């Protein structure tokens, strides 16, 4: 009997039910945890996206940001141990500084890139600071949670991290689906900074107001007010600040700029040395064309591919409509499908007068059908067959673009290519990036095509190469169709000369590119870094 009584005496007495005040305080604190987690993940995504827009190489940008931030979070957690003596004040200060640094992070990095050309060092420093501050949050929040109501450590950790992970999920989804399309990168980061500051205010003003001295509370509220004022002022001036920084990166006046969920689009215009207006399109800072000589590129890209049958044509990429313009010049063309990922690009090509004038309103031609979709995904579901395919993607300087230069992509392409069909692929510069160029050619051959390689010179961006291909083992002849309209640059003699490569630009020993081994991404980053 005594033994039984002893056992009962060791049982933990039931915890009294929490009162309404305690439940409300816990809810507000867990709400602060939720907001902090969401904000932290948005800062991380904003930094990786900005790096991809400005300098490409999304794999490297993502790896550096995540690894530096995770490391810094661990250091921040350790550094926060002494701060647990005054957790309320410490948390409010951490949130205020994090809101300011995180909110201004995109602007600071954009300025570092535009004026100082120090993007990577600046990105590492900002990631380090943001990671330290995020890491300091959890120990402080855990201490505050235990102050409201004592509970076992395992239970407190479970509650804290459950809400933290849910907040990270919401933040991760909000960035591409809401913040980026609604506010853009710069303003979106500022909005998140405001939310971060509000999370600190919730803790000080509503939860622990009785445990915070008047002087400390007044100082913290004044600090948060300064942070909110700084973020608000920057928000009002954001467009002017962004335009000033962006204009510094471009030699000519900017006439249009926008950042979409896929890319940064900039159009400039100036009076070229010939006296003609020179309209230039840049995607993520890379020149896509100059109106002074773009016809050289687009005539070479399109017309040799249409030397065979060309009643039904597929154009992949080329959202500016210039390749489509050249396709529609052939009277034998009955239908063209244009597949472009970014709807903002096709909208601009259709409605922005400088681009519409260049493409001759091609996107509104009754023979043209515009599809906004990822080319790889679209090909997997496509069933119609095409006589000719024109591929005008940007250079493969990111993982998302490298997949469009893979063996798997060209395997999918064969399913929609008629047995007699031909494919033309823009393939980068044999002069500036010979390994990239010949890797693209080898990739196409590995997928079961015979190829004919050639190169041209475009004064605005130099030497450029193309690969003409068709299924089988017989290389396609490089020629023009009988119904080819009068061209400004290309004729049979130019095409014949274009197949001759100097010794230092001829085929090199390179690997084909696959989804699992994106060789073109490796080559293009190595080669362009040298220049």
Sequence ranges of the binding site for spermidine: 298, 320
* Crossing angle of the two packed helices 58-79 and 20-55, in degrees rounded to 10: 140
List residues forming the annotated binding site for S-methyl-5'-thioadenosine.
Answer: 263, 340, 374-375
Q: What is the DSSP letter of 479?
A: -
How distant, in Å, are the alpha carbons of 108, 312, 396, 474 from that of 384? 48, 10, 27, 24
d(CA 262, CA 340): 11
Residues in CB range of 364: below 8 A, 6 or more apart = 350
Q: Which of 51, 53, 31, 324 is closest to 200 using CA atoms?
A: 31
Q: What is the DSSP letter of 271?
A: E
d(CA 93, CA 139): 14
d(CA 96, CA 289): 45
Q: Can you say whether the dihedral through the CA atoms of 428, 429, 433, 437 is positive or negative?
A: positive
What is the set of active-site residues? 392
Beta-carbon-side half-sphere exposure of residue 120 (alpha carbons within 13 Å): 9
316 pairs with which residues across the strands?
A: 339, 391
DSSP per position, 375-433: HHHHHHH----EEEEEEEPPPS-SHHHHGGGSHHHHHHHHHHEEEEEEEEEE---TTT-
CB 344 within 8 A of CB 258: yes
Q: Which of 255, 462, 275, 258 is closest to 355 using CA atoms?
A: 255
d(CA 251, CA 273): 14
d(CA 347, CA 345): 5
Burial of residue 381 (number of CB atoms within 10 Å: 0-12, 13-18, 19+): exposed
Q: Which of 102, 76, 111 is closest to 175 using CA atoms?
A: 102
d(CA 360, CA 371): 19
d(CA 105, CA 125): 10
SS (H, E, C) 103-125: HHHHHHHHHHHHHHCCHHHHHHH
Q: What is the DSSP letter of 250?
A: -
Two structure tokens written together for 358 = 């260049």
CB 92 within 8 A of CB 220: yes
């Amino acid at each position: 009997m005594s033994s039984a009584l002893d056992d009962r005496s060791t049982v933990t007495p039931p915890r009294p039910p929490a009162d309404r005040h305690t439940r409300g305080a816990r809810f507000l604190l867990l709400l602060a945890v939720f907001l902090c987690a969401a904000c932290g993940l948005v800062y991380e995504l904003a930094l990786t996206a900005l790096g991809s827009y400005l300098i490409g190489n999304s794999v490297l940008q993502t790896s550096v940001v995540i690894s530096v931030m995770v490391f810094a979070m661990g250091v921040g957690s350790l550094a926060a141990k002494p701060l647990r003596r005054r957790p309320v004040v410490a948390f409010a200060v951490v949130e205020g500084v994090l809101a300011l640094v995180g909110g201004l992070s995109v602007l600071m990095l954009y300025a570092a890139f535009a004026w100082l050309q120090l993007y990577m060092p600046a990105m590492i420093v900002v990631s380090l600071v943001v990671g330290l501050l995020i890491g300091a949050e959890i120990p402080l929040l855990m201490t505050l949670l235990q102050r409201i109501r004592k509970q076992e450590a395992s239970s407190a950790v479970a509650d804290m991290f459950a809400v933290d992970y849910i907040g990270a999920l919401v933040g991760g989804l909000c960035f591409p689906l809401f913040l980026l399309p609604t506010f853009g990168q710069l303003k979106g980061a500022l909005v998140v900074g405001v939310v971060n500051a509000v999370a600190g205010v919730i803790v000080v003003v509503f939860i622990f107001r009785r445990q915070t001295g008047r002087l400390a509370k007044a100082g913290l509220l004044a600090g948060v007010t300064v942070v909110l004022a700084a973020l608000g002022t920057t928000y009002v001036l954001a467009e002017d600040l962004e335009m000033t920084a962006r204009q510094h990166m471009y030699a000519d006046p900017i006439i249009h700029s926008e950042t979409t969920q896929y890319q940064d689009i900039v159009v400039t215009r100036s009076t070229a040395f010939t006296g003609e207006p020179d309209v230039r399109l840049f995607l993520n800072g890379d020149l896509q064309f100059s109106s002074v000589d773009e016809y050289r590129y687009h005539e070479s890209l399109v017309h040799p591919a249409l030397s065979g049958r060309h009643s039904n044509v597929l154009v992949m990429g080329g959202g500016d409509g210039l390749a489509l313009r050249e396709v529609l010049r052939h009277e034998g063309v009955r239908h063209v499908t244009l597949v472009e990922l970014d709807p903002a690009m096709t909208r601009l090509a259709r409605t922005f007068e400088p681009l519409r004038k260049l493409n001759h309103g091609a996107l509104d031609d009754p023979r043209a059908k515009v599809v906004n979709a990822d080319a790889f995904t679209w090909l997997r579901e496509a069933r119609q067959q095409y006589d000719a395919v024109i591929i005008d993607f940007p250079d493969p300087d990111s993982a998302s673009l490298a997949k469009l230069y893979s063996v798997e992509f060209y395997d999918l392409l064969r399913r929609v290519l008629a047995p007699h069909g031909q494919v033309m692929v823009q393939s980068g510069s044999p002069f500036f990036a010979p390994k990239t160029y010949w890797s693209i050619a080898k990739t196409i051959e590995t997928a079961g095509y015979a190829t004919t390689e050639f190169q041209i010179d475009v004064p605005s961006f130099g030497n450029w190469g193309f690969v003409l291909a068709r299924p089988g083992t017989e290389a396609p002849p490089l020629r023009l169709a009988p119904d080819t309209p009068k061209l400004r640059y290309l004729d049979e003699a130019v095409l014949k000369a274009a197949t001759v490569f100097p010794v230092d630009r001829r085929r090199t020993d390179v690997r084909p590119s696959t989804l699992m081994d994106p060789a073109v991404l490796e080559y293009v980053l190595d080669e362009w870094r040298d220049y």
